[in-house]
Amino acid sequence: MKDASARPAASLSDKGFGPATVLENLRRFRAHGFTHLHFSHQWTSPDPLGDEALARWQADLEESGVAVLDVHGCHPKDVHLWSSDAAARARALDLFLHRLRVTRALGGDAMVYHVPTHIEPTKEVLAWFVEGLREAEPLARELGLIVALENHYQAENDRRALALAFETFAADYIGFTFDPGHALISGNFEWLLANCADRLRVLHLNDNDARRDHHWNPYDPAGKADWTRVADFLRASPYRKPLQLEVSWRADRHGTHEAFLTEARVAVRRLSAAIGAVVG
């Protein structure tokens, strides 16, 4: 482990892009010390990422010197592995498999996928969810990728879906994505910290007011996350990748995009110091 005062590697979601081209944004990220990217582009689109678009991203990443750390899976409206409509589940699985291939092509090691949300976690819903994960397992293993399930807005859904997935699948296939902003909204913060550390593979670090998913930087003065508890959680987990923020720039809150990126970098340094050693 390096000393915590060193300048650690760090990652930022493309949700933090400002008003510029992809390449210009990646260069800004790199200039502010963000060595890695969480690729979320088109994560709500029902359409797969085309070969030409993928090639442009690969070229821009190479030119900027930013590497993809991991990738967000696709969640178009009403198209999920747990959808009640069989055709929607089939489309969701196709997108899931496509996004795994995108993850490998971009150099990431894990793909994020939400647990069922905005729905009652019935046995049927959970069975559809697990079956979809089971069907995707051969390709994920072939590509050497982890699928990291992300906590969301409903505490009961988190608990039932995560517990079932962890019980059903080995840790070298199914991991955990921790989103403290979602945990504040669900009220599930402590349960997640107590039960998911050993599966932690992806971070979506952000803060909010426990009412809306604002994607503020960690340590925002109006935020409600307990970053001391988060630091303890990270220290106890097997996570050793760069710290990663899933935060968004807003001109009315941050002013310039440069000011937002500076604030984000300060948050990474502060959390890294709280952990006690650089992660990454």
Q: Report domain extents, the chain.
A: 70-248+262-275
Q: Where do the DSSP E strands lie in the chain?
A: 10-13, 36-39, 67-72, 110-114, 146-150, 174-178, 200-203, 243-245
Q: Token match 């019980």: residue?
A: 167
| Token code pair at residue 194 | 């107590």
From the list 9, 248, 13, the residue with the least C-alpha distance to 150 is: 13
pLDDT, position 276: 86
Specify the pTM: 0.95
For 15-68, how does the pLDDT look when each residue is reduced to its tens digit (9 = 90+)? 999 999 999 999 999 999 999 999 999 999 999 999 999 999 999 999 999 999
**pLDDT of 278 over the 60 cut:** no
The length of the chain is 280
CA atoms of 256 and 262, how far apart (whole Å):
10
Residue 3 pLDDT level (bands cut at 50, 70, 90) = very low
The shares of helix, strand and coil residues in the chain, as percent rounded to the nearest 5, are: 50, 15, 40
Is residue 134 within 8 A of residue 127, CB to CB? The reply is: no
Q: Beta strand pairing status for 243-245 and 10-13? A: parallel
Average pLDDT over residues 180-199: 97
**pLDDT of 229 over the 80 cut:** yes
From the list 132, 124, 114, 131, the residue with the least C-alpha distance to 75 is: 114
CA atoms of 75 and 138, how far apart (whole Å):
21
CA atoms of 185 and 216, how far apart (whole Å):
14
Write down the CATH number for the domain with range 70-248+262-275.
Answer: 3.20.20.150
| Token code pair at residue 106 | 């971009």
Torsion of Cα atoms, 198 then 203 then 206 then 212, to 10°: -80
86's CB contacts (< 8 A; 6+ apart) are none
pLDDT > 70 in the chain, percent: 96
Q: How many alpha carbons lie under 13 Å from residue 90 in its C-beta half-sphere?
A: 3
